[in-house]
Amino acid sequence: MNAIDFAMWGRALKTIPRISKEEWMRVDIVSKWLIASRSAVFIMTVIAGAIGGIMAWYSGSFSGVNFLAAIIGLVFAHASNNLLNDLIDSRKGIDKGNYYRSLYGPQTVEHGLLSKAGIYSYIGFSMLIAVLSGVFLIYQTGIVTLYLMLAGLFFLLFYTWPLKYIGLGEITVVLVWGPLMVGGTYYVTSGGEWSWPVAIVGIIYAMGPTSVLFGKHTDKLKEDKAKRVFTLPVILGELNSRRTTIVLWLLQYILVGWLILSGKSVFALAVVVFAIPKFIWAAKIFSKPRPETEPDTLDKGVWPLYLSAHAFIYNKRFGLLFLLGLIIDLVLVKQGVLLCCLAYSF
């Protein structure tokens, strides 16, 4: 058994490490799982779950155990999807040769890091944890949680094919990171109370992860088109896809402003304005055609991720500030400074 490599854990949680087969053989099993599942992007899922949990706390009915189970289930479901995506794309021949996915990070099947049995074991382990978390939450909160779990399972299994192939992958992300993750976490954490307003607030956040996927699919638009993978950017074209991403970001600010000005939230959510400098930075990148070759300004090891890399950096900033605004709001409410209003006066 290889020694635990905490440094590699940190690398894998921050970025998608590019490692050789020799390095792969030396790292511990946790590092391998983190790398194979592309754990650097789990932050988007954790933020979504945290938003649902924070909003459940507003309701005065918060189960810490259920919240923890929800976060664990969501993260391992996300991991299952990433692993399944690599397996299916490999089996369909999508990731063969120098395809985009095989260039920006380890594609464990294509690069010979995992055998078919190995990738199946990683998927099985990840799905088992996700399903066990879901079963526990069904026992805790009832039949509606089963419906939420089945909806999540549907998107997990069919995102890679056929949804991604027919322009529905991006819409799937809006639904999953919005109503399912935020609304679902709220439901199980509050003890079984569904709230459409909370799900709508989740959609505001979900536009961020969707923009990251838009960036990724725009980055590999030519490759996907050649492989007949009709993602939304392939259908829209590069220019319209870049414009759509900027519109998604603008909509987030417009909807947050609407929440505040209409009295459905308080000023604390205005903290997202501190993401505006990053928005301007990312919007400038998206306002220009994607370069054909690696720019000198790009950090080493990021290419061919370009639009998606910038979208991810911006989304992380906005998402964390959005979460911070909710936390500040919660603290003020719990201290009696403000009346609880967010998501309950729609």
Q: Is the per-residue pLDDT at 105 higher than 80? A: no
List the chain domain ranges.
Answer: 21-334
Q: Is the per-residue pLDDT at 106 higher than 80? A: no
Alpha carbon dihedral 104, 109, 112, 113, in 10-degree steps, equals: 80
The rounded distance, in Å, linking the Cα atoms of 1 and 312 is 34
Q: Which band of pLDDT confidence, cut at 50, 70 and 90, is reported for residue 297? A: confident
Q: For the whole model, what pTM was predicted?
A: 0.90
Nearest Cα to 152, choosing from 130, 169, 168, 132? Answer: 130
Do residues 209 and 44 touch, judged by C-beta distance below 8 A? yes
Q: Is the per-residue pLDDT at 329 higher than 50? A: yes
For 106, 186, 232, 296, the CA distances from 11, given in Å and listed in that order, are 14, 31, 31, 23
263: left (phi over 0), alpha (psi -120 to 50) or beta: left
Section 195-218 average pLDDT:
94
Q: Which band of pLDDT confidence, cut at 50, 70 and 90, is reported for residue 197? A: confident
Q: Is the per-residue pLDDT at 328 higher than 80? A: yes
